[in-house]
Amino acid sequence: MAHDMAHHESNTKRIWYVFFLLSVITIVEVGFGIWKPDFMKATFISMKWLNWFFIILTLVKAYYITWAFMHMEGETKGLRRAVVWTAIFLICYLMFILLTEGDYIYEVFKAGHKSWDF
Amino acid sequence: METTVANTGTEGKTWGGGNQPLKVTYGKMMMWFFIVSDALTFSGFLAAYGFSRFKFIDSWPIADEVFNHFPFLHGVNAPMYYVALMTFILIFSSVTMVLAVDAGHHMKQKKVIIYMFLTIIGGAIFVGSQAWEWKNFIKGEYGAIETKGGQILQFVDTNGHRVALHDIAIIDTHKNRMQHERKNGVWYDKEDALPSYTVDEIKAGFAKRNDLLIRTQILTEEGEKTILSREESLRRINTDAVGIVEGANLIHNEYGTPLFANFFFFITGFHGFHVFSGVVINIIIFFNVIIGTYERRKNYEMVEKVGLYWHFVDLVWVFVFTFFYLV
């Protein structure tokens, strides 16, 4: 226990810094959500730039929560990869499959083979 | 941190179980793996939500119009401000949690108690806010008409402002009838609660007011809902309207497709349940800290473990916030 406590110097400063960062990102997100600038309405890979912007900021927030608050940065490489890579790869796969399929069904509805707006 | 498990006589034997490649205790590692599996559960829900959303990409309800309430500001259009505040509260309770963990590393019992207490308060406020959001969503605001195909038709005036059902309906007192309940009808039969108005009352009111138009679920290029012309509106309401929708439940939703309501209830409900259980676990650990359990154990790792869970709940909310309210 004694040796363990030795490298736990207080990192309150970093905690408050991360809190500041997360708050700023949230405020920016809400600001853009209300403002909805026209120049971000163009689409990129079937999604508006605005939405990409939100998703990227969300991932930044997720990174800081996991790395700073959950102290992932202090864990061994093995644990970090076991947790993060597993989640990331499975989620990317799942998202790809389901969103592609959802878009396909949208096209089927739009083609008018099935009437649904009545 | 070898304190939680008794020594087994394998220390130092690399191939005999005396090696800790991940350099964490059993409890913490299992908390991490639980979090991974829980994260995948939430991703499954959110991916399913994404699927349905892509399926109805041009007719999905607009979140800004659905979640625009703020406590004590009745009738003010305040899109997202309240949910932003909730997000802020949850992030702050994450901060107090990590401060509690930090204080625990330095064996400062008093500080851990204060920070744990603040975390619990933050969590409780968040769950309460979530309940309030649900209440507003279930109650609804303007009401709408449902068509044969399950489409939602909403009412606007010529300026594009929403008009509520009670401003349209011309009440026909001869047609009022009681809800059929077990106590006042055939004993084995009952029906759902009746809406405040009948379709005919709305049709009559709509025909009288020339300034009223119908807004469909279909989104235009600009991402706004399509407003029909007066003739088209009249045709639509007279041929297609079959029911009145006020508020939202799992079957009907005045804001648009019922799937939106289903996913909203399910995902925020599941998340809210996590927050609730997190608060309960936090309270248990909080009392353990007060009675000095971890002082005697000479380490505060339990605070760290419950902290991991609490941060995870915050992490999930960050994604739910993005996909339900922003995107």
Q: What is the pLDDT of residues A95-105, one digit of tens each?
A: 999 999 999 99
pLDDT of A70 higher than 70: yes
Could you give the C-alpha distances from B287 to A98, B4, B94, B99, in angstroms and in order?
44, 19, 19, 17
d(Cα A4, Cα A85) in Å, to the nearest integer?
Answer: 27
Q: What is the pLDDT of residue A58?
A: 96
Alpha-carbon dihedral of residues B12, B13, B15, B20, nearest 10 degrees? -30
d(Cα A17, Cα B199) in Å, to the nearest integer?
Answer: 57
B323 within 8 A of B52, measured Cβ to Cβ: no
Mean pLDDT of the residues in chain B? 90
pLDDT of B65 higher than 90: no
Give me the interface pTM, i.e. the ipTM: 0.89
pLDDT of A7 higher than 80: no
Mean of pLDDT values over B307-325: 95
pLDDT of B88 higher than 70: yes
A99 within 8 A of B51, measured Cβ to Cβ: yes
d(Cα B160, Cα B138) in Å, to the nearest integer?
Answer: 24
pLDDT of B32 higher than 90: yes
Confidence of residue A36 (pLDDT cuts 50, 70, 90): confident
Q: How far is the alpha carbon of A26 from chain B, nearest alpha carbon, in Å? A: 7
The first and second tokens of residue B158, run together, are 């010529």
pLDDT of B178 higher than 80: no
Q: What is the pLDDT of residue B2?
A: 46
Sort strands B144-147 and B241-245 into parallel, antiparallel or unpaired: antiparallel
Out of B33, B149, B326, the one facing A29 most closely (by C-beta) is B326
Q: What is the pLDDT of residue A2?
A: 40
Q: Which secondary-structure segment (H or E) carries B54?
A: helix B26-55
* Residue pointed to by tokens 């690399």: B14
Lowest mean pLDDT across A39-43, B52-56, B58-62, B86-90: A39-43
Q: How far is the alpha carbon of B282 from chain A, nearest alpha carbon, in Å? A: 16
Sort strands B212-219 and A43-44 into parallel, antiparallel or unpaired: unpaired
d(Cα B244, Cα A89) in Å, to the nearest integer?
Answer: 45
Q: What are phi and psi of B216, to 5 degrees?
A: -95, 180
Q: What is the pLDDT of residues B279-291, one digit of tens each?
A: 999 999 999 999 9
The first and second tokens of residue A112, run together, are 């008018």
- Least Cα distance to B98 among B317, B274, B309 occurs for B309
Lowest mean pLDDT across B1-5, B130-134, B156-160, B206-210: B1-5
Lowest mean pLDDT across A41-45, B8-12, B116-120: B8-12
Work out the percent of chain A whose per-residue pLDDT is above 90: 64
Note whether A69 contacts B87, CB cutoff 8 Å. no
d(Cα B163, Cα B233) in Å, to the nearest integer?
Answer: 14
d(Cα B82, Cα B89) in Å, to the nearest integer?
Answer: 10
Which residues does chain B have within 8 Å of residue A56's beta carbon, measured at their own beta carbons? none
Q: Which of residues 19-78 of A touch B (CB under 8 A)?
A: 19, 22-23, 26-27, 29-30, 33-34, 41, 51, 54-55, 58, 61-62, 65-66, 68-71, 75-76, 78
Q: What is the pLDDT of residue B288?
A: 96
Could you give the C-alpha distances from A72 to A68, B36, B300, in angstroms and in order?
7, 13, 18
Q: Which residue of A66, A75, A117 is the best one to mutate when testing the B interface, meaning the one whose CB has the most B CBs within 10 A?
A: A117
Q: What is the pTM of this model?
A: 0.89
